[in-house]
Structure 1
């Protein structure tokens, strides 16, 4: 059987330097110019919002950079297996008009050519053209097809799509709604003077303020900080709660994982800064614990993702890059405002390691997973 163990080589379709400019189609150019005009108007009209606007521009650029057109060379046999998987999982549909694969149920993306999956024949195989982030997923699919076969991989991808779909029962969003409401309420109450008193640090513990070990998870330094964490919470929270069993056990497991991850994030931060005076605030450490467990979640009935698998190694590298970007983002946002802010990467790492290594113990037992759901 033909293997896919060769190094992952995903290359740019338009050139590495061109990729830095998110202009991949006429439609996107018009969209970006309109957004830029709106931001420039807000910049001149509302000076207080400038750090937020800078953050929004950087986040939009990163999202579009992830979607940049890219190419991946594979064999004809691999292309046939990949096409069969795309057909079987139903997330993409092949057009009879031009042969391209398009995401089903997203007709709004039709005019954006760089959002399509296209199989381009070449003398010694096939070149797959698609957005960069989708090509990484397709590469994973090729490896899984070799290991498990078409039926198993199609079922796994369908299970993942069902979990990510918006038709999750409303009950799975209870814990995230509770945490989000507490964070927003705390920020609004402390809006005039800020929330540094809730921050955890060596100095705070030396002063006997041990409550900051828990309070720091619900404190945020500004609207952008709060918004980013709440977006992460909404992205991963419901998906994880749905895998933690029945209500109310799933709620309790999620809340326990969130709090324990936040405490472990604070512990690593304090270990790195035992005599520090700078308070650390934010739910990021706890959220990284949630992410640490989510990335190890298997498809129903499968084993946990191995810690040293190729997929996990890619996730580790992606998290490193994300944290480096956050450092740049925070620096740009607050450079002109004179504020001093840093990224507590130690808390991110501590929470993530807890979710990665200890998080699986929060999953329900096999008997509970098999119990009928109401």
Structure 2
């Protein structure tokens, strides 16, 4: 499996991608809070902030106090299962999110990110509407960023860590790297491995990101590397 390290894709419009950086910091803070909470506290956080498909369709369950239960379609994206989960998501967001923020602008990028998170949560819910297992993680939102990146920058070289004899950073076009990632998500949707990964949330996020980018990018930003 490839690990993205960085890309040769200079920003043009945004000097500092502060929305992307803030999202990364918030995800890390939320996970650190989860990590130090006692078991009862973490359970309360999951009950009130995670997407639980079976509860969203049950009007008798008030999951989020004082807010619509559909709020969890966004809040779940700021929770994670473990350190590997949060760090892998944040690495992808660090490498690819700044260029999407540059292509959209700060406010539109924030709306885009949250919309992709919601699309991922909704896709997961529709795939298994009776499930009572909590869905957490920024993967749906990050998948949206990946979908947008492929549409905008398919030719950009991504330096990935690949083990040939020893682990080495090698440059590979974004279309190959991220296209392989998307292909893996489709494979596991078609042939589930029985693990805890919410593959449909990734698919929903990718589709949302690849669609929304057409409407939310700056007019001066070209498509498909043009």
Alpha-carbon offset, residue 196 of structure 1:
2.6
Alignment match, 1:3 = none
1:188, 1:318 → 2: CA distance?
27
1:317, 1:281 → 2: CA distance?
23
Indicate if the aligned counterparts of 2:143 and 2:203 stay in contact, CA closer than 8 A: yes
Alpha-carbon offset, residue 208 of structure 1:
2.8
Alignment match, 1:184 = 28
Indicate if the aligned counterparts of 2:185 and 2:202 stay in contact, CA closer than 8 A: no
1:169, 1:358 → 2: CA distance?
20
Indicate if the aligned counterparts of 1:289 and 1:353 stay in contact, CA closer than 8 A: yes
Residues 235, 314 of structure 1: alpha-carbon distance in 2 compared, 3 angstrom cutoff: closer
Indicate if the aligned counterparts of 1:236 and 1:290 stay in contact, CA closer than 8 A: yes
Q: Deviations over 1:44-99 (max 9, x none)?
A: xxxxxxxxxxxxxxxxxx349x9xxxxxxxxxxxxxxxxxxxxxxxxxxxxxxxxx
1:204, 1:260 → 2: CA distance?
21
The alignment status of 1:235 with 2:98, answered yes or no, reads no
Between structure 1 and structure 2, the one with the greater Rg is 1
Alignment match, 1:359 = 213
Alignment of 1:68-87 (within 5 A): none
2:130, 2:14 → 1: CA distance?
46
Pairs aligned (count)? 180
Alignment of 1:103-252 (within 5 A): 161-163=8-10, 170-172=15-17, 174-191=18-35, 192=37, 193=39, 194=42, 195-197=45-47, 198-205=49-56, 206=58, 207-209=61-63, 210=69, 211-244=71-104, 250-252=105-107
1:282, 1:290 → 2: CA distance?
14
Query: TM-score when scaled to structure 2?
Result: 0.69
Alpha-carbon offset, residue 171 of structure 1:
1.5
2:32, 2:153 → 1: CA distance?
38
Indicate if the aligned counterparts of 2:51 and 2:121 stay in contact, CA closer than 8 A: yes
Query: TM-score when scaled to structure 1?
Result: 0.43
The alignment status of 1:289 with 2:144, answered yes or no, reads yes
Alpha-carbon offset, residue 180 of structure 1:
1.3
Higher relative contact order (CA 8 A, sep 6+): 2
Alignment match, 2:182 = 319
Alignment match, 2:134 = 279
